[in-house]
Structure 1
Amino acid sequence: MTMLKFTKDHEWIRVEGDTGTVGITDYAQQQLGDVVFVELPEVGRKLETGKEAAVVESVKAASEVYAPVAGEVVAVNDAVAGDPSLINSAAEGDGWFMRIRLANPSELDGLMDRAAYDAYVEGLA
Structure 2
Amino acid sequence: MRHSTTVISQRKRSFLMLRSIGLALTDTLDDLISEERIHPQLAMKILGNFDQAITEALQKNVKSRLQFKGSLDTYRFCDEVWTFLIKNVTFKMDNGSVSVQADKVKIVSCNARRPGEGQ
TM-score range, shorter chain: under 0.3
* Larger gyration radius, structure 1 or structure 2: 2
The structure in which a higher percent of residues are helix is: 2
The structure in which a higher percent of residues are strand is: 1
Higher RCO by CA contacts (8 Å cutoff, separation 6 or greater): 1
